[in-house]
């Protein structure tokens, strides 16, 4: 029997004094892929940021547990070390820090173990090949001067390297062309196993054509208004969100 990985109970979240999430409930088990869909401004990114406890968002009520442990108010880095990863919609640029050095450092922080240099390099090269990434990007400053597609692939690379229990992909598919979406989907397939889970946050359905998902949740005005299977995504693709407003 599969186990509960993440559980969100009645989560209310404010940003700049405005209530954005108005009671989110969500359960994710190991081995599952969940999708949260919703129109702009419905609270999708807030949900992702709240799971990682971004201090820009204030939790008013509710709780978040990871494998039964309350992580609602842990610091972001503690949550990351417990095994939650988020792929950012707009990844930050860090001048002067190479992708390799950054990943080595982050991996060491997340696992708490020293990183074996050669093994790490091999691992990185393998993943980059799979993701059609230019190996030269390894020595470039993190995300600096990267195209939109390169940044997103880099997020997927980080996910593979850090190997979290739960990966949250916030609008990872937005702004990507068909080929890039295929590559990202490939990365997700490589990552996916029975012990981890994925939460995809998106406002369109493109990425769902190349992935099998278990649950689709429709988020409107800070609440999950409907949950279904892959069919629900199809229905939204055809009819939009208007019926849920």
Q: How far is the CB of 61 from other proteins (least distance, A)?
A: 22
Output phi, psi for 200, to 5 deg: -100, 130
Map the footprint of other proteins across residues 142-181, applying CB under 8 A: 158, 162
Q: How far is the CB of 16 from other proteins (least distance, A)?
A: 13
Binding of residue 138 to other proteins (CB under 8 A): no
Nearest 5°: CA angle at 160, between 6 and 216? 40
Q: Which CB atom, from 97 or from 213, has the smaller least distance to other proteins?
A: 97
Q: Cβ–Cβ contacts within 10 Å for residue 142, how many?
A: 22
Rounded Cα–Cα distance for residues 138 and 148 (Å): 16
Choices 10-18, 26-34, 39-47, 93-101; region in contact with other proteins by CB under 8 A: 93-101
**Residues binding other proteins: what is the number (CB under 8 A)?**
28
Tokens of 8: 């969100």
**What is the layout of strands, in order, in the sheet containing 18-29?**
18-29, 4-15, 58-66, 69-70
Map the footprint of other proteins across residues 19-58, applying CB under 8 A: 49, 52, 54-56
Binding of residue 92 to other proteins (CB under 8 A): yes
Binding of residue 81 to other proteins (CB under 8 A): yes
Binding of residue 72 to other proteins (CB under 8 A): no
- How many Cα atoms within 13 Å fall on the side-chain side of residue 62? 22
Q: Which CB atom, from 115 or from 213, has the smaller least distance to other proteins?
A: 115
SS3 214: coil
Q: How far is the CB of 4 from other proteins (least distance, A)?
A: 22
Q: How far is the CB of 162 from other proteins (least distance, A)?
A: 7
User: CA end-to-end span of the chain, whole Å?
Assistant: 36
Binding of residue 105 to other proteins (CB under 8 A): yes
Max distance between CA atoms of the chain, in angstroms, equals 54
**One of 63, 65, 94, 228 touching other proteins (CB under 8 A):** 94
């Amino acid at each position: 029997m599969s186990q509960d990985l993440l559980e969100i109970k009645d989560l209310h979240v404010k940003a700049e004094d405005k209530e954005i999430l108005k009671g989110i409930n969500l359960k994710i088990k190991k081995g599952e892929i969940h999708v949260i869909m919703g129109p702009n401004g419905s609270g999708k990114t807030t949900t992702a940021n709240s799971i990682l406890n971004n201090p820009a968002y204030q939790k008013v009520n509710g709780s978040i547990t990871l494998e039964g442990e309350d992580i609602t108010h842990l610091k972001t880095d503690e949550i990351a070390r417990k095994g939650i990863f988020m792929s950012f919609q707009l990844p930050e640029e860090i001048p002067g820090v190479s992708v390799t050095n950054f990943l080595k450092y982050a991996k060491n922080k997340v696992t708490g173990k020293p990183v074996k240099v050669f093994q790490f390099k091999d691992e990185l090269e393998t993943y980059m090949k799979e993701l059609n990434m230019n190996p030269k990007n390894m020595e470039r400053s993190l995300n600096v001067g990267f195209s939109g597609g390169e940044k997103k692939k880099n997020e997927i690379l980080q996910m593979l390297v850090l190997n979290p229990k739960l990966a949250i992909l916030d609008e990872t598919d937005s702004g990507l062309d068909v080929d890039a979406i295929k590559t990202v989907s490939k990365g997700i397939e490589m990552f996916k196993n029975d012990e981890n889970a994925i939460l995809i946050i998106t406002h369109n359905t493109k990425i769902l054509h190349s992935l099998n998902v278990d649950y689709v949740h429709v988020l409107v005005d800070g609440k999950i208004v409907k949950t279904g299977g892959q069919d629900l995504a199809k229905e939204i693709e055809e009819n939009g969100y208007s019926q849920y407003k």
